[in-house]
Amino acid sequence: MENGRRRSRWASQWPLGAPPIGGFFLGLLAGPPFGVQAVFVNRCGSPRVCDFVCDCWDCSDENQCGYQQASALGAPFTCSFEGTTCGWEDVSDTAYRWDPAQASIATWGLEPPFDHTLGTDVGWYMAATKQGAKPWATARLQSPVLRGAAAACEIRAWYLLWGPGLNETQQPRLTLELSQGSRTTSLWQSPPGSTSSWQELVAYTGHIPGSFQVTFVSTQDFSVAQLALDDVEFRNCGFPPPQTCGSEAFHCQQGGCVATDRVCDGTADCRAAEDEAQAECAAFRACSFEKDWCQWTVVPNTTLAWLRNSSLHLASPSVGPSRDHSTNSREGIFVYVETQKLDLHEGRAWLSSPALAPDPNHSCYLVLYLYLHGSDSNSLNIYSQTAQDLQLIWSRTGDLGNFWFREKVDFVGAKKFKIVIEGRIGGGQEGSIALDDLRLSPGCRMVEDSQLPTPPTPEPPGPCPEEQFACDQGKRCLHRELLCNFKAECDDASDEQRCGGTDFSQDAGGWMDMSVGRLRWTTSRLSPLGPVFSLQKAPGQMFSMARAATPVLGPSGVGCVLQMDVATGPEGFLALAIADGSPGTRWWAWFAQSSETWRKATVPLGARKRPFQLELLARADLDGPRGALPLAVSNVSFVNCSPEGGPASAPQAGLSCNFETDWCSWYLEQNEGFEWRRSQSRKGAVDHTTGTGSFLLAEPGGAWKPGWRTRLLSAPQAVPAAVATVCLSFWYRLEGPQIGTLALKVKEAGEPEQVLWARRGSHGAVWHRASSSISPKPGQNYQVIFEALRDGFLGSIALDDLTVTPGACPAQRHCSFETGKCGFSAPEQPAWQRQNGGGGGGPPVDHTLGEPRGHYMILHTGADQLPLGQTAVLRSGAFPPLRRTHCVSFWYHLNSSEPGSLTAYVEEEEGAGEAGRLSLDPTEGEAWRYGSFVAKVHGRWQVSFAATGAGGEPSSYVALDDLLVKEGGCPEPASCDFESGPCGWSKPHGDWYSWDWKEAATTLRSPSPKEDHTLGTNAGHYAYVDLAVLSLGKSTARLVSEPLAPTTGSCLQFHYHMDFLGQSSSPAELRVRLTGAQGERVIWTATGHQRRAWTKRTLLVTSPVEFQIVLEVSNGAWASSGVIALDDLRYAPGPDCASPQAGQVEESGSPLSVLTIGVVAGVVNTVLLLLIVATCCLWKRRGSRERMVEEEANGQGFDIAFRDDRIILPQMALDPATS
């Protein structure tokens, strides 16, 4: 992609590197395609800007701060890069740098095909790409100066690694750094592992009282991958705003309230940290480990040990955190579990407190800051050790994130005890466990510890090693990789009992709370509902959602479904997410909110490889009204999740389905992108079965639907022994200017997938019938797959009425030869062959795809293979009898080296009826040409193509592609009424946007014609272009005729419709071009809104050489809405069209009333009296206009467009001859 076309430098930096303080500023941001964009900054002259607090009424003091006060995301303090860089500045010192870039699905595999904000190819993001720099160069994207951050501040962004050759060893590395003066700290670094989807970055700043900046640093490697960044959000970064505090809350000096249980807890909640400087804080026994161990003791004789250190002196960044909690710097000290013993795969380290005794008058608790990151199996356990036993009080397991998180553990009892903190490494040397800022409350009194022995082993060793699971009451050891695989490996099925499927009557059933904020998941009982999994308040300092995760699951089967009973409460939010094995990869599979009743949720999981986990994410107001239904989950179960086979009833259910009530035996292949869904009939998209029912729909055009494909899988099928072949028939729709490919595949057990049928590109907004024979091996189960591949974001694919019948299918009425010969056979020698454009000796591209990979049928007709006068015949399979006339059309290619002749005809079995025939001779110039003839038969019949040799050169050939048999007569060349398709008109190969054809509009406010011109009803069809889907900057959509013979004067007649709902200033244009060997020229143009009716136009066409007619629509220099439609194209060679009549108006709506005509007449008289105004209008030339190259068109007549309660008068010509 050229930098000049999709990439540009945006002028969005402020003169001094930050928005102005104490004054008003209007910034003009230049950057295509947005033109000039005005941004108000600090309109109230606030001295405090970029501090995450809105001081101005319009929050303009928080504009251009690395975020905007409003964005396309709909959230404050975010930057979506749509039209602005939000103040981010590239400060790279090499050719490797950050630039704004626009997505492009046209270069899939080389550049990101969609941004994260809009999820389409019109969105923008920041990209770090190679520009002649050496390997290991760095690109730096720096924020403006930010002024203070609260302890709960999160920086979230989405990043994408994209490009060929991505692997785990060679890929760009992304780092987020925080700078305060000369001190720089790493907040986050991209994990290993390649990816082709947007992943979320979450970093935590910690409490920062002064100014700072953050920088995204990309380090490039030897690969050609791109690194993209989008949707940067600063969440919960502002300090508490001024407010009235209750009697039990602490009041900050600069405003804001802090709960009393969060005072003296080691986290500064006030801007000046006065909540941590109160006199009562001295009563807490705090240990920051900055000087020593503070009477905490490392217990000897354990496999691992706790060590004191700082990030500055760690041997490797992966060993521990990048900063401590106390000072939020690399120099600060913390303690961590040493994990670098190479001979250990797991182990534990103990840290013991001095002897303590609870004060009966005060609560005894421990506040600690925990770092648990990089491993799902590491854990931190806290025990209470007395003279008698060691009791587990609290435990956390898994990866909580790359930060220090606040925890609070209460100790209840009258006995003397010690606190034992155990750091446990559960899976090799990955991950880190660290502690900082341990604070014992005043209720924990220190006492003599002479009576307390050394802590015993927390639990007796089990019958199996720690990496294995003991099942069947310890009689058998099972490797943990076999746990939760949806198949009972143990006789007592204990290996599947704690995997997330539970009624919560005993415990959480395998769900682990992973929350780090002020809410967490826990089991409870709700009367009269019984046991549930619900939320309660938690001690964390963050404001993130509560999160719970299952153990590692998988593999799962194709029909796997999760079912659960859920309630969200009046203001709650609940989601189920799926996290796979890639670090940071997670997507939402289901969500619900604001429900005051219980409901059953069913979430398809489908076939997934191991490992994957399910996560429950939730938020709710626990201080809401009493008696309201709380957010809760109950009765979680996995259905049909065994990877072996599928649902027991699947083979009996078969493949037939009309999708009226359910999916039958069809399932989704789960991925993170767009997918099939059951859709209800609606205006413009009705099902095929009844016109009011349901069908399957795949829409790649929805916002943020990534992924290259979506697949619909059948359950495994078994063919009865007596049936060797079955016929699968179905109805499909392919519509839209950027729609891709629908393919039918079959997969037999142990065999690769085989493509049976495929269609690409728009086939109009109508249902088409297709069928394919399936012949699996005897006794072999098979699966059927419908695969939708996207070409863009505009369009939809639909399926309905799948039917299976015994025996082979009739001959295919549409064959592109992309998946096979479609039943065509050639018994004569030399034989017709199927090949692609890269096979050599034939056309370099096919007609279907216009690419070398496309396939066609070819016969080499050189004298050495097909002697002079010899004929080779290609015959289709048998078609059933026809009750009506049909048109047989195809595309053929005859090269210029004496290829011989080609005859297409119909052979009828019984010989009755009038068979069609078409003879074709070589034409000057090698190209794909369109042929068609009418078939009138009464019995079974087939299409035959006979090539007769002419003694040509060895390179001679005849090629065929895109056979189509459809009901109705055949149109003349370059003529079409669009009732059953685009006839011989097609989109030029390589164009990105295309014309489409559909039924007339049914909605009142739609700019589309309400009736077509052919039938004059809303059931008729026409060709159209939706201007809203064209990109900015004069993007075009073209429709091209088949090649036409030279002419000295022929007529092209058509009806066009350009109604933009009265928007006369629209820059959209409709052009008619002629293109051929002598070049290209425009013969007619219409611009802007014309009228709310079909308009007839007749044009003279002349060309001394073979040519094609091109119908072209462009959107102009800026976006506009509306539809340009065409209908009833007629091309008639011969007649003289030198003086075409004026465009004729044919109204498709109701006639005007007498009253309306009177009003209009009055308005017209007024306009005629104000000729000076008309002269100004002529000077401005903003209205609609129509021109021809040879001569100016006659007047348009008088037309009034009604919109709401206004009357819009078209521009009137001043020349009396045209009035």
CA angle 794/798/801 to nearest 5° reads: 170
pLDDT: which is higher, 582 or 265? 265
Does residue 410 share a domain with residue 307? Answer: yes
What are residue 1171's phi and psi, to 5 degrees?
Answer: -65, -25
Q: What pLDDT shows up at residue 1150?
A: 36
Q: What value does the mean pLDDT of the chain take?
A: 80
Does residue 610 share a domain with residue 528? Answer: yes
How far apart CA 894 and CA 892 sit, in angstroms, is: 7
Contact 738, 794 (CB under 8 A): yes
Q: What pLDDT shows up at residue 474?
A: 67
Does residue 713 share a domain with residue 577? Answer: no
User: Residue 229 domain-assigned?
Assistant: yes
Contact 727, 808 (CB under 8 A): yes
User: Residue 1122 domain-assigned?
Assistant: yes
Q: Give the number of domains in the chain.
A: 6
Q: Choose one of 967, 996, 1014: the last residue of a domain.
A: 967
Q: What pLDDT shows up at residue 419?
A: 94
Does residue 831 share a domain with residue 934? Answer: yes
Q: What pLDDT shows up at residue 1160?
A: 39
Contact 926, 958 (CB under 8 A): no
Does residue 596 share a domain with residue 671? Answer: no
In this predicted structure, the answer to whether residue 438 has a pLDDT above a threshold of 90 is yes
User: Residue 1182 domain-assigned?
Assistant: no
Highest mean pLDDT, choosing among 90-104, 185-199, 200-214: 200-214
In this predicted structure, the answer to whether residue 652 has a pLDDT above a threshold of 50 is no
Residue 28's pLDDT band (boundaries 50, 70, 90)? very low
Name which of 963, 1060, 983, 1059 is nearest 1023 in CA terms.
983
Sheet of 1036-1040: strand order equals 1036-1040, 1107-1114, 1069-1076, 1079-1087, 1185-1188
Q: What pLDDT shows up at residue 574?
A: 95
Q: What pLDDT shows up at residue 681?
A: 83
How far apart CA 687 and CA 639 sit, in angstroms, is: 29
| Residue % of the chain over a pLDDT of 70 | 79
Question: 45-56: per-residue pLDDT in tens?
Answer: 888 889 898 888
Does residue 1085 share a domain with residue 940? Answer: no
In this predicted structure, the answer to whether residue 198 has a pLDDT above a threshold of 70 is yes
Residue with tokens 């990043």: 159
Q: What pLDDT shows up at residue 705?
A: 57
User: Residue 64 domain-assigned?
Assistant: no
Residues in the chain: 1219
pLDDT: which is higher, 993 or 99? 99
Give CA separation, 324 vs 297, 332, 477, 1165, in Å: 20, 5, 41, 82
Structure tokens at 1015: 């039938």
Q: Write the single-letter amino acid at 1204.
A: D
Residue 428's Cα: distance from chain center in Å?
36
Contact 612, 585 (CB under 8 A): no
Residue 1018's pLDDT band (boundaries 50, 70, 90)? confident
User: Residue 431 domain-assigned?
Assistant: yes
Helix or strand run (H / E) with residue 435: strand 432-440
Q: Choose one of 1113, 1133, 1153: the last residue of a domain.
A: 1133
Burial 1123-1136 (b: 16+ CB within 10 A, else e): bbbbbbbbbbbeee
What are residue 1027's phi and psi, to 5 degrees?
Answer: -65, -25
Instruction: Say which DSSP state 1158 is in.
Output: H
Residues facing 575 on adjacent strands:
591, 617
Question: 595-634: per-residue pLDDT in tens?
Answer: 888 999 988 888 888 889 999 999 998 887 777 788 999 9
Number of other residues whose CB lies within 10 A of the CB of residue 1163 = 13
Q: What pLDDT shows up at residue 647?
A: 47
pLDDT: which is higher, 1187 or 101? 101
- Segment 221-235 shows an average pLDDT of 82
User: Residue 309 domain-assigned?
Assistant: yes
How far apart CA 562 and CA 612 sit, in angstroms, is: 14
The CATH number of whichever domain residue 377 belongs to comes to 2.60.120.200
Q: What pLDDT shows up at residue 800?
A: 94
User: Residue 480 domain-assigned?
Assistant: no
- Segment 669-685 shows an average pLDDT of 77
Highest mean pLDDT, choosing among 888-892, 990-994, 1184-1188: 888-892
In this predicted structure, the answer to whether residue 87 has a pLDDT above a threshold of 70 is yes
Contact 611, 550 (CB under 8 A): no
Residue with tokens 């695989």: 485
Strand-strand pairing, 901-908 and 1144-1146: unpaired
Contact 1185, 1192 (CB under 8 A): no
Contact 918, 934 (CB under 8 A): no
Does residue 797 share a domain with residue 818? Answer: no
Q: Choose one of 406, 421, 446: the last residue of a domain.
A: 446
- List all residues 6 or more positions away from 676 whose beta carbon is below 8 Å from its beta carbon: 668, 696, 697, 698, 710, 712, 786, 788, 799
Contact 944, 907 (CB under 8 A): yes
In this predicted structure, the answer to whether residue 1214 has a pLDDT above a threshold of 80 is no
Q: What pLDDT shows up at residue 807?
A: 86
User: Residue 414 domain-assigned?
Assistant: yes
Contact 297, 285 (CB under 8 A): no
Residue 369's Cα: distance from chain center in Å?
37
Please, what is the end-to-end C-alpha distance for the chain in angstroms?
A: 50
Does residue 1095 share a domain with residue 1011? Answer: yes
Does residue 229 share a domain with residue 99? Answer: yes
Does residue 1052 share a domain with residue 1073? Answer: yes
Q: What pLDDT shows up at residue 375?
A: 84
In this predicted structure, the answer to whether residue 1210 has a pLDDT above a threshold of 60 is no
In this predicted structure, the answer to whether residue 370 has a pLDDT above a threshold of 90 is yes
Does residue 100 share a domain with residue 83? Answer: yes
- Domain residues for the domain of 564 are 498-639
pLDDT: which is higher, 518 or 912? 518
Does residue 622 share a domain with residue 688? Answer: no
Number of other residues whose CB lies within 10 A of the CB of residue 308 = 14
- Segment 998-1015 shows an average pLDDT of 71
Contact 831, 872 (CB under 8 A): yes
- Segment 657-671 shows an average pLDDT of 85
| Residue % of the chain over a pLDDT of 90 | 34
In this predicted structure, the answer to whether residue 1161 has a pLDDT above a threshold of 60 is no
Question: 1068-1099: per-residue pLDDT in tens?
Answer: 889 999 998 888 999 999 988 777 789 999 99
Residue 582's pLDDT band (boundaries 50, 70, 90)? low
Q: What pLDDT shows up at residue 455?
A: 61
How far apart CA 667 and CA 1043 sit, in angstroms, is: 45
pLDDT: which is higher, 279 or 109? 279
Residues facing 1025 on adjacent strands:
1124
Q: What pLDDT shows up at residue 1167?
A: 40
How far apart CA 1102 and CA 1096 sit, in angstroms, is: 20
